[in-house]
Amino acid sequence: MAALLRAAVAGTGIGDEYVRALARVPDVEVVAVCARSAESADRLADRHGVAARYTSFEAMLEREAPALVVVATPNRLHAPMTLAALDAGAHVVCEKPLGLTLAEAREMALRANELGRTSFVPFTWRFLPAAMRAKELLDGGFVGTPYHVFARYFVRGFGDPHGPMRWQFDAAEAGSGALGNIASHAIHLADWWLGGFRRLRASLATHVGERARPDGGARAVVSVDDTCSLLAELDGGASLALTASLVAFGPRVSVEIGVLGSDGAIVLDDEWGTAAAATGRLRGARAGETGWSELPLPAGDETADAAAPFRGCFSRMAHEVVAAVREGRPAAPSFEDGVRVQAVLDAALRSAAESSWVELEAVEERR
């Protein structure tokens, strides 16, 4: 029997899924949650039977001494909370994007490595069965030499493209909008599947410029992009075209990512609300064939359901990071992977501001 691993979660939005997923891992106990308000902390803790709840992150670290901390807070808090948790002796899961800037992300990765802590960035789509199978097939040469990657990531803006103001639409809190919030997932998949980004050209747009305040006050100005487009060249020579939007009518989430090469093609697609939402679908075509074929996937996770299609992904992420902590090995994806994505985000922001192609800076070797 493994020693009990004490975990704590900061953030009560997506933090709910982390509490739920960690509670399903054997010999793990979520001992505390932390939120901006006592009411939010109490709601999350009561829902999952967590004993301790805090509004002070520092007090939680000092009094609970958790071995594992999840930082699922607004992006501006990622770096200070992560560094504090690392210094307090914890291994850390930090939501993407890792920081507001590449400098922040690099500092977080360096500190984790210096202190010998396990780090993990939850790029959720990496744990979708269709994405995992695509990685196996690409590594096995299914498409031959990759020529082109296309990605479409459309989201119906937290349920309503014209919905109320949230911290995700505030540059001071989020850093960027559709770029960091959702395009980062597709960027990581491309990097994981095929290798790093060499250079890119980005276009950012804000189509819904004002949003109602939840408290009924004057309408708030949106200060980030709600739509982004990237053209890029990957290190291996393939070209990439990506479009992501937070103001797309249609399914709550609708994603399609394809890789076309010298000998074949693979396309992953996923739409929430469909029977395959928890696993995604994978289609393939090879030289000599006349159309697409459905490709079989590994078995899904029993925790996935229609109300929360990615619950299985959260379960697999929780098991990966806990196993990494117990085995004393790096988790995947780690903060180094988060740095690689952050480099692309920073380059995209610069490209959009300068209306020019941007060469990416060299970052740490990926594992």
With a cut of 80, say whether residue 85 has pLDDT above it: yes
Yes or no: say if 97 and 338 are a contact pair by the CB < 8 Å rule: yes
CA–CA distance, 122 with 14 (Å, rounded to integer): 11
Q: Which residue has the tokens 């590594």?
A: 139
Which neighbouring-strand residues pair with 265? 260, 285
Q: What is the pLDDT of residue 298?
A: 79
Q: Indicate the pLDDT class of residue 216, thresholds 50, 70 and 90.
A: confident
Q: Which residue has the tokens 């609970």?
A: 64
Q: Indicate the pLDDT class of residue 362, thresholds 50, 70 and 90.
A: very low
Q: What is the pLDDT of residue 365?
A: 41
With a cut of 70, say whether residue 283 has pLDDT above it: yes
DSSP 130-173: HHHHHHHHHHTTTTSSEEEEEEEEEEBGGG-TT----GGG-HHH
Average pLDDT estimate for 304-313: 80
Q: What is the CA radius of gyration of the chain?
A: 20
Instruction: Give the model confidence (pLDDT) of 141-187 as tens digits.
Output: 999 999 999 999 999 999 999 999 999 999 999 999 999 999 999 99
The percentage of the chain sitting over the pLDDT mark of 90, rounded to a whole number, equals 92
CA–CA distance, 31 with 45 (Å, rounded to integer): 9
With a cut of 50, say whether residue 363 has pLDDT above it: no
DSSP state letter for 4: P
Q: What is the pLDDT of residue 290?
A: 87
Give, in words, the CATH class of 5-123. alpha beta
Query: Rounded to two decimals, what is the model's pTM?
Result: 0.95
**For the chain, which residues make up each domain, given as ranges?**
5-123, 125-328+339-359
With a cut of 90, say whether residue 366 has pLDDT above it: no
Nearest to 55 by CA among 67, 39, 31: 39
Give, in words, the CATH class of 125-328+339-359. alpha beta
Alpha helices, H only, the chain: 15-23, 38-48, 57-64, 78-87, 102-115, 129-139, 171-174, 178, 184-194, 311-327, 335-354
With a cut of 50, say whether residue 352 has pLDDT above it: yes
With a cut of 80, say whether residue 251 has pLDDT above it: yes
Q: What is the pLDDT of residue 308?
A: 84
Yes or no: say if 169 and 224 are a contact pair by the CB < 8 Å rule: yes
Nearest to 194 by CA among 204, 202, 186: 186
CA–CA distance, 278 with 126 (Å, rounded to integer): 13
